[in-house]
């Protein structure tokens, strides 16, 4: 980590990986210190139902159309939706060490 410092009267002030130097608080933090003047916090209630679903598509383009349609409709409000190609899916499965419940489907 590089420290961006300048010399003023043989004393260096600036960023430090060990924390903020009290002198730097008074003489300038050079981007290390911010003052929050206002904040907005949005809070949503906990979901009444939690479920996870997987859908197989004949092509990535078909999956992309589904995701776009899902984002435009108002009935379902998923917290997240991920579109994975076959390589990403297999990599994720390999990293978990668990066998996929979709393993019985053949890849076409």
Residue 55 marked ligand-binding: no
Residue 14 marked ligand-binding: no
Residue 11 marked ligand-binding: no
pLDDT tens, position by position, 19-31? 666 666 655 555 5
Residues with Cβ within 8 Å of residue 70, at least 6 apart in sequence = 76, 78, 81
Residue 31 marked ligand-binding: yes
Residue 45's pLDDT is 87
Q: How confident is the model at residue 32 (pLDDT cuts 50, 70, 90)?
A: low
Residue 20 marked ligand-binding: no
pLDDT for 42 beyond 70: yes
Three-state SS at 5: strand
What is the Cα 75 distance to its own chain's centre?
Answer: 25
Name the token pair of 6: 């300048």
The CB density around residue 66, as the number of other CB atoms within 10 Å, is 14
Q: Hey, CA dihedral for 100, 98, 61, 75, is it positive or negative?
A: positive
pLDDT tens, position by position, 52-108? 888 888 899 999 999 998 888 888 878 888 888 888 888 887 887 666 555 555 554
């Amino acid at each position: 980590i590089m420290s961006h410092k300048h010399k003023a009267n043989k004393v260096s002030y600036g960023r430090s990986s060990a924390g903020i130097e009290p002198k730097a608080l008074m003489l300038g933090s050079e981007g290390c210190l911010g003052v929050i003047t206002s904040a907005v916090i949005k809070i949503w209630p906990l979901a009444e139902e939690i479920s996870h679903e997987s859908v197989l598509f004949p092509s990535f383009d078909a999956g992309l159309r589904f995701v776009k349609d899902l984002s435009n409709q108002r009935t379902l409000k998923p917290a997240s939706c991920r579109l994975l190609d076959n390589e990403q899916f297999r990599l994720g499965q390999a990293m978990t060490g668990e066998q996929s419940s979709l393993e019985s489907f053949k890849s076409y």
